[in-house]
Amino acid sequence: MRTPSVLFDLGNVLVRLDLERGLGRLRHLAGERVPATLEQAQLFFSEASLACNRGDLPPEAFIATLARQLGDPAVLPSQLVEAWCDIFEPWPQMEALAGEVLAAGHHAYLASNTDPLHFAHLSAQMPVLGRLTGLHLSYEARAIKPDPSFFLSLLARFGLAASECVYLDDRAEHVE
């Protein structure tokens, strides 16, 4: 048997997520145009967001859709991108754990539902992402967890056997 590989999710595994902070930033940009009843799921898990995560909607089109959802505020697209990405908080202990896994001789992979905007933002802030053995991103795989095709394409891409992998994810439906 080969040395086990460790597969890390990104949000709430390698970095903390604070969707409420991101929603607050987006509400602030939109001002009174956005309904007070707007919830996290309506933005962060909307069909447009999921389509961007699957690679079916380009980031520019997603930001235009987000602007419409927010009532077309008079802000620059770059301001929306900045607010959209303001959901992450560093988690140094988990970044260190990924480094320790690599130092112990294990292969470590990122297996994440993410969009190009979030990933570009995090790549600039998290050097450990560049040290991982491989990255399997939903928008490149054109599938999102828990779709089995996400995991099957990951295993095939990196020549891994599921029985030789440890998978860390904060969402039970992604590991069942």
Distance CA 142, CA 61 (A): 17
Query: Which pLDDT score is estimated for 14?
Result: 97
Q: Judge if 12 and 25 occupy the same domain.
A: no
Find the CATH number of the domain harbouring 107: 3.40.50.1000
Query: Which pLDDT score is estimated for 80?
Result: 96
Query: Which pLDDT score is estimated for 39?
Result: 84
Distance CA 158, CA 169 (A): 19
Query: Which pLDDT score is estimated for 1?
Result: 58
Q: Judge if 23 and 74 occupy the same domain.
A: yes
Q: Looking at the 3D structure of the chain, how many domains does it have? A: 2
Q: Judge if 96 and 165 occupy the same domain.
A: yes
Q: Judge if 99 and 149 occupy the same domain.
A: yes
CA angle (27, 140, 107) in 5-degree steps: 110
Q: Judge if 11 and 72 occupy the same domain.
A: no
Q: Report the largest interatomic distance among the alpha carbons of the chain, rounded to a whole angstrom.
A: 59
Query: Which pLDDT score is estimated for 37?
Result: 72
Sign of the alpha-carbon dihedral angle for 41, 45, 46, 48: positive
Low-confidence ranges of the chain (pLDDT < 70): 1
pLDDT, tens digit, for every residue of 48-87? 999 999 999 999 999 999 999 998 888 999 999 999 999 9
- Residue after which a domain boundary falls, among 84, 108, 134: 84
